Chains A and B, each alone.
Chain A
């Protein structure tokens, strides 16, 4: 590939500002730095990143392997802690929370979709969808759940175990599970990574609808330009820094941008 080898894209703090500054942020990172290890073996995974994830939008986070995109997501979702800087979800500073409060935040205000689906194999699809509510001991909003289940298109398969579902179906259950609590923000980590292109397209479509018709906020980490094409905006990370942002991305434009990394 004849991509220009130009990894030294200048860092511009203004790129990280949201496109429509009027929309409130569902989650934001301020001066976020994450260092793994100490001394000579220290690796800077996030280097003073400040970013806002606008509410009611579908944001894709892109970048080559080791760019820090997964670390950013883990830290913003409260799964991992920063070395310095702050992460806020809906105005709550995660750094101020105890372990248990963090757990409750994840349970009630954040949804997750993993690359490997990560359904509980012993529970049925329906039970997996309700699991966050079960954990909270909360009565589900049946109307909302019905909407979510309807959107999965799996209403007839709710009694099946994950092992009886295809990968695409399992991932739709996982998305439904993330939606079940009507979280402030959903983080999706390579949700199409394990799927063929058709199943992947279904999942992306599902996430798209979650944002457009259900008013949800989705942040998706991916290295697939096609997946990013479904988002409202794409952020590009390299070497632990946000190096670019693109509104209304298309697969072609994202691919072109990625080529700049010489990936």
Chain B
């Protein structure tokens, strides 16, 4: 029986070609993501192993703050510890390290490397002892004073800076030019994992990217024959004797493992995000697979019936269809995985992974291929079951065409389900519960799946009505054909509905967010400029920028905002690792943040907190919290702050953080202070255009920083949202492509089935051109049908979410009409395109043979 099935498969392989492709595309995406993840993990495992290659022990601060997703920031340690560590028995060498953020500015004046793309721009000290320095000079020499730097070779090559040239680098001390005196490689790579490195002398690094008199960590090399464990134990004991209790000593192996696992944690959400889209693509694929098998089973009714008549059991017929599905799934998945490998290597180069062998782990191969097979087989279950229900008597009838209509009961049930879903969405929207809207949207989706076969005929008639008028017979036939197999038409359209529905949903949310932000900025933003550090807050603006801008005669108010990691302890309610904001009172006015309880005063010893955080932690006015920054310079007793005000942070711009301290308290505690943003308000009557050049002149000296007027700021915020849209849209494109393949597939199989009928039409005088048009327009109608369903779904879901979140800053609901129209037009065009090949084949058919076909 397996052989019968496989023979059948081989004979019909043309019919299943598009199904193969649908499986392969989904698996390719999934496999690509998995391989990319494995490769990144391995690359960074190797990288970190290299970093710690000669490090036997690490001495570091025991104060660490978890920044989420595997991120961690640590305090610094006193540089005096280095001498004590060096004196410990078994220590061959020790080096004090400093590490922070530094941004190289390219020759074009633009920052080099985009942290948003994973290229972290790092500043460190050049380690004199080459055993503890993972870098090797390939050109020039080590830096000798604070005016000289060494760059990694990748950065030097990308920016084109050569030895002797001045390289502008932005640090916490501002942007300065340093002479390039050396270029170094990291082990075998030019630029480790696409990161950029600027290396100064130890003292310069402390001043520019660390803290003076302190190290980030001390790396220790053991004497020959001294184990890592013994070395760490020895150092620990010596430090204990010296009364040092705020540092920890870990072995090199532990430090490596810790860094490696932290990187994997950082990568995990990114992988999950991409895998979600791979699953959407596979989900769309299930519709295409289901449809292919349904049509093929229908076309082979006679063969199935014959097998049943001569004694094949239902189980055997079912299994023969499933064996085909397994074969399609297996081959599709295998090919898909290979395509995924290519995809991973392309993406790897986008993410600046070093060229080299991809990591192909058996687990990832297994997961991708098994998922592909399971998806295919599950999609074929229903068609297989139907095949097994074919009456043996059908072997004696002239039936080969699937003429199944839709069930009225299913249509009504679907209508009820859609109605219920919409009600749940409305309830969630009015009640401000996004989760309920989500449930409602899923119910609406399920309802649409049920109802769409019943809609196929009437909707085809409506959508096709103009066609019949414009394209005559061809149009009328296209309209009728699209409504002819309602189940087939709707299953094909449903695949498209998923992708289009998600895109429409995102579009509604995005345009509403933009409209909401615009409204808020237009109506309530009191500032005139925002100076952004342009480094994602990693480096920030030196405080003098805010001071100099404040000194300008045209400027009325300057409100700097800065952030630092801290641990906030709420008595009786535990501790919380979070970013704490330092700001001046003006920020609340300028950003239109309303302090609902208490006052907007940031007096010493007082803190203003966000409403959402206060609700979560049960904090009230007058409560006391303890804020301990990393490397906090205040004595432990001086870290308490009283809640003086609570502000409403449910704004589309998101407020200024959960805990806001006055700038004086903040500066007293945090050793290095730089502003992430500075909000500027001009004096009454001063035109924006007049003040801008003066401010620009001050900011220009700060590398990547940018001065943005309110309109420019809107544009920047808007374009960030657009980027998300483009990314999500791009990731959903695959789902849409698979759905379009599904249309091509359905049309191709229908043409095959209607060979005789098409031959007849040709015989009585229909022209090739008309035959082709009939088929293309049928595809366009199906495509438009699916798109209409998707737009409906996106509209309902998008409206629900936007309304449910109206108190969280989604003040405006906006339907992106232009986008919706564009989607509908694209649907028609892409539908026409999808059917080009089947239409061409139908037009080319030999009339006599077509009529003779059984």
Contacts and interface: CB of A to CB of B under 8 A. Distances in A.
Contacts of A262: none
A251 interface: no
A70 B312 CA distance: 22
Nearest to A74: B393
Contact of A120 (B303, B308, B313): B303
Contact of B310 (A74, A80, A132): A132
| Highest count of chain B CB atoms <10 Å: which of A70, A115, A118 | A118
Interface in B386-424: 392-393, 395-396
A1 B393 CA distance: 35
Interface string B277-318: 000000000000000000000000011001111111110100
Interface string B1-35: 10110011011000000000000000000000000
Interface in A182-229: 189
A106 B392 contact: yes
Interface residues of B, number: 23
Nearest to B392: A79
Nearest to B305: A118
B317 to A, nearest CB: 10
B313 A108 contact: no
A184 to B, nearest CB: 13
A117 B10 CA distance: 22
Contacts of A70: 396
Contact of B1 (A111, A121, A134, A178): A134
Contacts of A118: 302, 306, 309, 395
Contacts of B303: 120-121
Given A118-B395, A123-B7, A131 B314 contact: no
Contacts of A177: 310
A137 to B, nearest CB: 8
Contacts of A107: 310-313
A100 interface: yes
A143 interface: no
B608 to A, nearest CB: 76
B682 to A, nearest CB: 82
Contacts of A121: 11, 303
A111 B310 CA distance: 7
Contact of B309 (A79, A104, A108, A122): A79
A103 B308 contact: yes
A103 B311 contact: yes
Contacts of A122: 4, 7-8, 10-11
Contacts of A108: 311
Contact of A135 (B1, B7, B8, B393): B1
Q: How large is the interface on A (under 10, 10 to 19, 20 to 34, 35 or more residues)?
A: 20 to 34
A112 interface: yes
Given A118-B302, A135-B316, A79 B310 contact: no
A99 interface: yes
A135 B307 CA distance: 9
A120 B10 contact: no
Contacts of A131: 4, 307, 310
B464 to A, nearest CB: 35
A99 B314 contact: yes
A261 interface: no
Interface string A116-143: 0010111100010001101110000000
B395 A80 contact: no
Nearest to B6: A122
A120 B306 contact: yes
A114 B396 CA distance: 7
Given A122-B10, A123-B7, A135 B396 contact: no
Contact of B312 (A79, A80, A135, A178): A135
A114 B395 contact: yes
Interface string B167-201: 00000000000000000000000000000000000
A32 to B, nearest CB: 16
| Highest count of chain B CB atoms <10 Å: which of A110, A111, A112 | A112
A188 to B, nearest CB: 12
Contacts of B312: 103, 107, 135
Contacts of B3: 127, 134
Contacts of B8: 120, 122
Contact of A103 (B7, B314, B395): B314
B12 to A, nearest CB: 8
Contacts of B314: 99-100, 103
6 contacts: A100-B314, A107-B310, A112-B310, A120-B4, A120-B306, A136-B311
Interface of A: 70, 74, 79-80, 99-100, 103-104, 106-108, 110-112, 114-115, 118, 120-123, 127, 131-132, 134-136, 177-178, 189
Given A110-B311, A114-B306, 4 more contacts: A80-B393, A107-B312, A122-B4, A132-B311
